[in-house]
A and B are shown apart, each in its own frame.
Chain A
Amino acid sequence: MAVATYVTRAAFMVALGDAALPAWVERGLRYVPVGVLTSLVVPQVVLAHGAWALRCDNPFLWGAVVSGLLARRGASPLLTILAGVLVVALVRAF
Protein backbone atom coordinates (compact mmCIF):
# COMPACT_ATOMS: atom_id res chain seq x y z
CA MET A 1 0.00 0.00 0.00
CA ALA A 2 2.79 2.39 0.92
CA VAL A 3 4.60 1.61 -2.33
CA ALA A 4 1.46 1.88 -4.47
CA THR A 5 0.74 5.27 -2.89
CA TYR A 6 4.26 6.62 -3.19
CA VAL A 7 4.52 5.57 -6.84
CA THR A 8 1.45 7.61 -7.77
CA ARG A 9 2.69 10.62 -5.82
CA ALA A 10 6.25 10.65 -7.06
CA ALA A 11 6.12 9.27 -10.61
CA PHE A 12 5.17 12.42 -12.50
CA MET A 13 6.35 14.84 -9.86
CA VAL A 14 9.93 13.60 -10.10
CA ALA A 15 9.96 12.65 -13.78
CA LEU A 16 8.51 15.96 -14.93
CA GLY A 17 10.66 18.07 -12.58
CA ASP A 18 11.83 20.63 -15.11
CA ALA A 19 11.24 18.78 -18.37
CA ALA A 20 9.87 20.77 -21.29
CA LEU A 21 6.27 19.76 -21.97
CA PRO A 22 4.03 20.44 -24.96
CA ALA A 23 2.03 23.64 -24.56
CA TRP A 24 -1.31 21.82 -24.40
CA VAL A 25 -0.12 19.65 -21.49
CA GLU A 26 1.09 22.75 -19.65
CA ARG A 27 -2.30 24.37 -20.22
CA GLY A 28 -4.14 21.29 -19.02
CA LEU A 29 -2.07 21.03 -15.85
CA ARG A 30 -3.06 24.57 -14.91
CA TYR A 31 -6.63 23.34 -14.38
CA VAL A 32 -5.72 20.33 -12.24
CA PRO A 33 -6.20 22.28 -8.97
CA VAL A 34 -9.74 23.29 -9.98
CA GLY A 35 -10.41 19.70 -11.10
CA VAL A 36 -9.17 18.18 -7.85
CA LEU A 37 -11.22 20.45 -5.61
CA THR A 38 -14.40 20.26 -7.69
CA SER A 39 -14.26 16.45 -7.96
CA LEU A 40 -13.64 16.09 -4.24
CA VAL A 41 -16.58 18.31 -3.26
CA VAL A 42 -19.41 18.17 -5.81
CA PRO A 43 -20.18 14.41 -5.81
CA GLN A 44 -20.15 14.45 -1.99
CA VAL A 45 -22.71 17.25 -1.96
CA VAL A 46 -25.16 16.29 -4.72
CA LEU A 47 -25.02 12.50 -4.29
CA ALA A 48 -25.69 10.26 -1.30
CA HIS A 49 -25.21 6.49 -1.26
CA GLY A 50 -24.61 6.48 -5.01
CA ALA A 51 -27.81 8.28 -6.03
CA TRP A 52 -28.92 11.88 -6.64
CA ALA A 53 -29.63 13.74 -3.39
CA LEU A 54 -30.85 17.16 -4.49
CA ARG A 55 -33.38 17.24 -1.67
CA CYS A 56 -34.17 19.58 1.20
CA ASP A 57 -33.17 16.94 3.75
CA ASN A 58 -29.63 16.65 2.38
CA PRO A 59 -27.52 18.45 5.02
CA PHE A 60 -24.44 18.72 2.79
CA LEU A 61 -26.45 20.62 0.20
CA TRP A 62 -27.37 23.30 2.72
CA GLY A 63 -23.85 23.36 4.10
CA ALA A 64 -22.46 23.82 0.60
CA VAL A 65 -24.88 26.67 -0.17
CA VAL A 66 -23.89 28.55 3.00
CA SER A 67 -20.14 27.84 2.75
CA GLY A 68 -20.22 28.57 -0.96
CA LEU A 69 -21.87 31.97 -0.54
CA LEU A 70 -19.46 32.90 2.23
CA ALA A 71 -16.40 31.79 0.25
CA ARG A 72 -17.64 33.67 -2.79
CA ARG A 73 -17.95 36.86 -0.74
CA GLY A 74 -14.40 36.56 0.50
CA ALA A 75 -15.05 35.25 4.01
CA SER A 76 -12.06 33.67 5.75
CA PRO A 77 -11.61 29.90 5.33
CA LEU A 78 -12.17 29.35 9.04
CA LEU A 79 -15.52 31.18 9.03
CA THR A 80 -16.51 29.33 5.84
CA ILE A 81 -15.80 25.96 7.46
CA LEU A 82 -17.40 26.76 10.83
CA ALA A 83 -20.59 28.07 9.21
CA GLY A 84 -20.86 25.04 6.94
CA VAL A 85 -20.30 22.60 9.79
CA LEU A 86 -22.86 24.42 11.95
CA VAL A 87 -25.47 24.37 9.18
CA VAL A 88 -24.94 20.64 8.59
CA ALA A 89 -25.28 19.96 12.32
CA LEU A 90 -28.48 22.06 12.51
CA VAL A 91 -30.09 20.40 9.49
CA ARG A 92 -29.32 17.00 11.00
CA ALA A 93 -30.76 18.02 14.36
CA PHE A 94 -34.13 19.09 12.94
Chain B
Amino acid sequence: MVGPGPRQASAGLDPAGGGRPGTVGVALRDTLPLAVSALIYGAVFGVTARDAGLTAWETALMSAFVFAGAAQFAAVALWSAGASALQIVATTFVVNLRYLLMGASMARFLSKRHGRPLPRAALAALAAGLSDESYAVSARRFAAHGPSARYLLAANTLLYVTWLSSSLLGALFGALVANPERYGLDFAFPAAFLAILLPELKERPALAAAGAAAAASVLVALYVPGSWYLLSGILAAALVGAGVERNARR
Protein backbone atom coordinates (compact mmCIF):
# COMPACT_ATOMS: atom_id res chain seq x y z
CA MET B 1 0.00 0.00 0.00
CA VAL B 2 2.96 2.35 0.30
CA GLY B 3 4.42 4.03 -2.72
CA PRO B 4 4.17 7.27 -4.61
CA GLY B 5 0.38 7.33 -4.27
CA PRO B 6 -0.23 9.45 -1.21
CA ARG B 7 2.42 12.06 -1.90
CA GLN B 8 1.34 12.62 -5.47
CA ALA B 9 -2.23 12.74 -4.31
CA SER B 10 -1.66 15.38 -1.69
CA ALA B 11 0.22 17.58 -4.16
CA GLY B 12 -3.00 18.28 -6.03
CA LEU B 13 -5.28 18.66 -3.04
CA ASP B 14 -7.81 21.40 -3.12
CA PRO B 15 -8.60 23.31 0.08
CA ALA B 16 -12.29 22.64 -0.48
CA GLY B 17 -11.74 19.02 -1.35
CA GLY B 18 -11.86 17.46 2.10
CA GLY B 19 -8.08 17.05 2.12
CA ARG B 20 -7.37 19.55 4.87
CA PRO B 21 -4.88 18.83 7.63
CA GLY B 22 -6.66 16.66 10.16
CA THR B 23 -8.28 14.56 7.44
CA VAL B 24 -6.24 11.54 8.50
CA GLY B 25 -7.45 11.91 12.08
CA VAL B 26 -11.07 12.16 10.97
CA ALA B 27 -10.61 9.12 8.74
CA LEU B 28 -9.09 7.07 11.56
CA ARG B 29 -11.89 8.10 13.93
CA ASP B 30 -14.60 7.23 11.37
CA THR B 31 -12.95 3.89 10.59
CA LEU B 32 -12.31 2.86 14.19
CA PRO B 33 -15.66 1.12 14.82
CA LEU B 34 -15.13 -0.88 11.63
CA ALA B 35 -11.55 -1.67 12.61
CA VAL B 36 -12.82 -3.12 15.90
CA SER B 37 -15.17 -5.34 13.91
CA ALA B 38 -12.33 -6.28 11.54
CA LEU B 39 -10.20 -7.19 14.54
CA ILE B 40 -12.73 -9.80 15.65
CA TYR B 41 -13.42 -11.02 12.12
CA GLY B 42 -9.68 -11.31 11.44
CA ALA B 43 -9.08 -13.27 14.61
CA VAL B 44 -11.90 -15.65 13.69
CA PHE B 45 -10.32 -16.04 10.25
CA GLY B 46 -6.96 -16.88 11.87
CA VAL B 47 -8.61 -19.60 13.96
CA THR B 48 -10.50 -20.98 10.95
CA ALA B 49 -7.33 -21.09 8.86
CA ARG B 50 -5.44 -22.86 11.61
CA ASP B 51 -8.21 -25.43 12.04
CA ALA B 52 -8.07 -26.02 8.27
CA GLY B 53 -4.37 -26.85 8.59
CA LEU B 54 -2.66 -23.64 7.48
CA THR B 55 0.37 -22.51 9.47
CA ALA B 56 0.36 -19.09 11.13
CA TRP B 57 2.92 -17.97 8.55
CA GLU B 58 0.72 -19.06 5.64
CA THR B 59 -2.29 -17.38 7.21
CA ALA B 60 -0.43 -14.10 7.64
CA LEU B 61 0.88 -14.24 4.07
CA MET B 62 -2.62 -14.80 2.75
CA SER B 63 -3.98 -11.87 4.75
CA ALA B 64 -1.08 -9.69 3.67
CA PHE B 65 -1.41 -10.37 -0.05
CA VAL B 66 -5.11 -10.99 -0.50
CA PHE B 67 -6.66 -8.81 2.23
CA ALA B 68 -10.24 -9.84 1.43
CA GLY B 69 -12.14 -11.43 4.30
CA ALA B 70 -14.99 -13.15 2.47
CA ALA B 71 -12.70 -14.50 -0.26
CA GLN B 72 -10.21 -15.78 2.32
CA PHE B 73 -12.88 -17.64 4.29
CA ALA B 74 -14.13 -19.18 1.04
CA ALA B 75 -10.59 -20.14 0.01
CA VAL B 76 -9.82 -21.84 3.32
CA ALA B 77 -13.08 -23.79 3.16
CA LEU B 78 -12.31 -24.90 -0.40
CA TRP B 79 -8.72 -25.73 0.49
CA SER B 80 -9.70 -27.99 3.36
CA ALA B 81 -12.26 -29.66 1.07
CA GLY B 82 -9.43 -30.49 -1.32
CA ALA B 83 -10.31 -28.05 -4.11
CA SER B 84 -7.81 -27.27 -6.85
CA ALA B 85 -5.85 -24.01 -6.98
CA LEU B 86 -7.82 -23.02 -10.08
CA GLN B 87 -11.12 -23.48 -8.25
CA ILE B 88 -9.86 -21.34 -5.37
CA VAL B 89 -8.74 -18.55 -7.69
CA ALA B 90 -12.03 -18.65 -9.66
CA THR B 91 -14.06 -18.46 -6.44
CA THR B 92 -11.92 -15.57 -5.21
CA PHE B 93 -12.67 -13.72 -8.41
CA VAL B 94 -16.42 -14.25 -8.15
CA VAL B 95 -16.56 -13.32 -4.45
CA ASN B 96 -14.67 -10.12 -5.27
CA LEU B 97 -16.66 -9.07 -8.36
CA ARG B 98 -18.38 -6.44 -6.23
CA TYR B 99 -15.07 -4.57 -6.06
CA LEU B 100 -15.38 -3.82 -9.77
CA LEU B 101 -18.40 -1.63 -9.06
CA MET B 102 -16.98 -0.22 -5.84
CA GLY B 103 -13.76 0.68 -7.69
CA ALA B 104 -15.74 2.39 -10.45
CA SER B 105 -17.75 4.33 -7.88
CA MET B 106 -14.60 5.31 -5.95
CA ALA B 107 -12.91 6.47 -9.18
CA ARG B 108 -15.87 8.78 -9.82
CA PHE B 109 -15.61 10.28 -6.35
CA LEU B 110 -11.88 10.86 -6.62
CA SER B 111 -12.09 12.36 -10.10
CA LYS B 112 -14.54 15.01 -8.95
CA ARG B 113 -11.95 16.90 -6.96
CA HIS B 114 -11.66 20.54 -7.93
CA GLY B 115 -7.93 20.33 -8.39
CA ARG B 116 -6.06 18.00 -10.69
CA PRO B 117 -7.42 14.51 -11.21
CA LEU B 118 -5.60 11.81 -9.27
CA PRO B 119 -2.77 10.19 -11.21
CA ARG B 120 -3.39 6.60 -12.24
CA ALA B 121 -0.50 5.37 -10.09
CA ALA B 122 -2.23 6.83 -7.04
CA LEU B 123 -5.53 5.18 -8.00
CA ALA B 124 -3.72 1.86 -8.52
CA ALA B 125 -2.12 2.12 -5.07
CA LEU B 126 -5.39 3.09 -3.38
CA ALA B 127 -7.18 0.21 -5.13
CA ALA B 128 -4.86 -2.31 -3.46
CA GLY B 129 -6.33 -1.46 -0.06
CA LEU B 130 -9.97 -1.01 -1.05
CA SER B 131 -12.28 -3.01 1.19
CA ASP B 132 -16.01 -3.05 1.95
CA GLU B 133 -15.34 -1.14 5.14
CA SER B 134 -12.97 1.54 3.80
CA TYR B 135 -15.25 1.97 0.80
CA ALA B 136 -18.28 2.42 3.05
CA VAL B 137 -16.78 5.10 5.32
CA SER B 138 -15.11 6.89 2.43
CA ALA B 139 -18.18 6.96 0.19
CA ARG B 140 -20.19 8.48 3.03
CA ARG B 141 -17.50 11.04 3.82
CA PHE B 142 -16.92 12.00 0.18
CA ALA B 143 -20.62 12.50 -0.53
CA ALA B 144 -20.87 14.95 2.37
CA HIS B 145 -17.46 16.68 2.44
CA GLY B 146 -15.82 16.11 -0.93
CA PRO B 147 -13.28 13.45 -1.85
CA SER B 148 -9.84 13.05 -0.33
CA ALA B 149 -7.27 10.47 -1.34
CA ARG B 150 -5.65 10.90 2.05
CA TYR B 151 -8.87 9.92 3.83
CA LEU B 152 -9.23 6.74 1.76
CA LEU B 153 -5.57 5.87 2.29
CA ALA B 154 -5.88 6.29 6.07
CA ALA B 155 -9.03 4.14 6.19
CA ASN B 156 -7.42 1.48 3.97
CA THR B 157 -4.26 1.40 6.04
CA LEU B 158 -5.97 1.12 9.42
CA LEU B 159 -8.12 -1.76 8.19
CA TYR B 160 -5.16 -3.47 6.52
CA VAL B 161 -3.03 -3.35 9.65
CA THR B 162 -5.94 -4.55 11.78
CA TRP B 163 -6.81 -7.43 9.45
CA LEU B 164 -3.23 -8.61 9.09
CA SER B 165 -2.37 -8.46 12.78
CA SER B 166 -5.65 -9.96 14.01
CA SER B 167 -5.56 -12.90 11.60
CA LEU B 168 -1.98 -13.63 12.66
CA LEU B 169 -2.93 -13.39 16.34
CA GLY B 170 -5.95 -15.62 15.73
CA ALA B 171 -3.72 -18.20 14.04
CA LEU B 172 -1.19 -18.08 16.89
CA PHE B 173 -3.44 -17.82 19.93
CA GLY B 174 -6.73 -19.14 18.58
CA ALA B 175 -8.12 -20.39 21.85
CA LEU B 176 -8.48 -16.87 23.23
CA VAL B 177 -11.15 -16.00 20.68
CA ALA B 178 -12.74 -19.40 20.52
CA ASN B 179 -16.36 -18.34 20.69
CA PRO B 180 -17.03 -14.75 19.59
CA GLU B 181 -20.66 -15.56 18.73
CA ARG B 182 -21.44 -15.96 22.39
CA TYR B 183 -20.82 -12.26 22.89
CA GLY B 184 -22.72 -11.23 19.78
CA LEU B 185 -19.47 -10.06 18.20
CA ASP B 186 -20.37 -11.54 14.82
CA PHE B 187 -23.04 -8.83 14.66
CA ALA B 188 -20.45 -6.04 14.84
CA PHE B 189 -20.13 -5.71 11.06
CA PRO B 190 -23.84 -5.73 10.21
CA ALA B 191 -24.41 -3.14 12.96
CA ALA B 192 -21.55 -0.98 11.69
CA PHE B 193 -22.91 -1.09 8.15
CA LEU B 194 -26.41 -0.20 9.38
CA ALA B 195 -24.91 2.77 11.23
CA ILE B 196 -23.49 4.04 7.93
CA LEU B 197 -26.41 3.11 5.69
CA LEU B 198 -29.52 4.26 7.53
CA PRO B 199 -28.70 7.96 7.94
CA GLU B 200 -28.14 8.09 4.14
CA LEU B 201 -31.60 6.81 3.24
CA LYS B 202 -33.45 10.10 2.98
CA GLU B 203 -34.53 10.68 -0.58
CA ARG B 204 -36.69 8.51 -2.79
CA PRO B 205 -34.00 7.28 -5.20
CA ALA B 206 -31.81 6.11 -2.31
CA LEU B 207 -34.77 4.41 -0.58
CA ALA B 208 -35.77 2.72 -3.83
CA ALA B 209 -32.18 1.63 -4.43
CA ALA B 210 -31.98 0.12 -0.94
CA GLY B 211 -35.29 -1.69 -1.45
CA ALA B 212 -34.14 -3.08 -4.78
CA ALA B 213 -30.80 -4.18 -3.33
CA ALA B 214 -32.54 -5.86 -0.38
CA ALA B 215 -34.96 -7.76 -2.62
CA ALA B 216 -32.36 -8.78 -5.20
CA SER B 217 -29.69 -9.81 -2.71
CA VAL B 218 -32.11 -11.87 -0.60
CA LEU B 219 -33.68 -13.62 -3.59
CA VAL B 220 -30.33 -14.44 -5.18
CA ALA B 221 -28.92 -15.57 -1.82
CA LEU B 222 -31.92 -17.90 -1.45
CA TYR B 223 -31.72 -19.49 -4.89
CA VAL B 224 -28.18 -19.09 -6.24
CA PRO B 225 -25.23 -20.69 -4.43
CA GLY B 226 -22.05 -18.71 -3.81
CA SER B 227 -21.82 -14.97 -3.38
CA TRP B 228 -23.51 -13.71 -6.54
CA TYR B 229 -26.06 -12.06 -4.26
CA LEU B 230 -23.69 -9.19 -3.49
CA LEU B 231 -23.16 -8.27 -7.13
CA SER B 232 -26.89 -8.71 -7.84
CA GLY B 233 -27.86 -6.40 -4.98
CA ILE B 234 -25.41 -3.71 -6.04
CA LEU B 235 -26.51 -3.83 -9.69
CA ALA B 236 -30.18 -3.68 -8.65
CA ALA B 237 -29.47 -0.61 -6.49
CA ALA B 238 -27.63 1.12 -9.34
CA LEU B 239 -30.34 0.42 -11.91
CA VAL B 240 -33.32 1.29 -9.71
CA GLY B 241 -31.64 4.29 -8.07
CA ALA B 242 -30.69 5.74 -11.43
CA GLY B 243 -34.17 5.10 -12.85
CA VAL B 244 -36.01 6.71 -9.93
CA GLU B 245 -33.64 9.68 -9.92
CA ARG B 246 -34.23 10.29 -13.62
CA ASN B 247 -38.01 10.10 -13.28
CA ALA B 248 -37.96 12.45 -10.30
CA ARG B 249 -36.17 15.08 -12.37
CA ARG B 250 -38.72 15.09 -15.18
Q: Do A and B make up one complex?
A: yes
Q: How far is the CB of A12 from chain B (nearest CB, A)?
A: 4
- On whether the beta carbons of B210 and A34 are closer than 8 Å, the reply is yes
Check A35–B234 contact: CB distance below 8 A: yes
Q: In the assembled complex, which residues on chain A have CB atoms less than 8 Å from the CB atom of B36?
A: 81
**CA gap between A34 and B217 in the complex, in Å:** 12
**The residue from A18, A33, A47, A92 contacting B139, defined by CB atoms under 8 A apart:** A33
State the main secondary structure of chain B at its contact with A. Answer: helix
State whether B222 touches A50 (Cβ < 8 A): yes
Which chain A residues (1-19) contact chain B, with CB distance < 8 Å?
Answer: 1-18
Interface residues on B, range: 35 or more
Q: Which residues of A contact B238 (CB under 8 A)?
A: 28-29, 31-32, 35
Known: A1-B66, A34-B200, A43-B217. A8 touches B100 (CB 8 A): yes
Do residues A67 and B191 form an inter-chain contact, with CB atoms below 8 A?
Answer: yes
Instruction: Tell me which residues from 35 to 60 in chain A have a Cβ below 8 Å from any Cβ of chain B.
Output: 35-47, 50-52, 59-60
Of the listed stretches B16-24, B85-93, B159-167, B168-176, chain A binds: B85-93
Knowing A9-B127, A64-B194, A77-B195 touch, does A31 contact B139 (C-beta < 8 A)? no
**Chain B interface residues toward A at CB < 8 A:** 30, 32-33, 36-37, 62, 65-68, 71-72, 75, 88-90, 92-93, 96-108, 110-111, 117-118, 120, 123-124, 126-128, 130, 132, 135-136, 139-140, 143, 181-201, 205-206, 209-210, 213-214, 216-218, 221-222, 229-230, 232-242, 245-246
Contacts A13-B126, A74-B199 known; list 17 others, CB within 8 Å: A8-B97, A8-B98, A9-B127, A10-B128, A11-B103, A13-B104, A13-B130, A16-B104, A16-B108, A32-B101, A37-B193, A38-B214, A39-B230, A42-B218, A42-B233, A47-B222, A72-B198
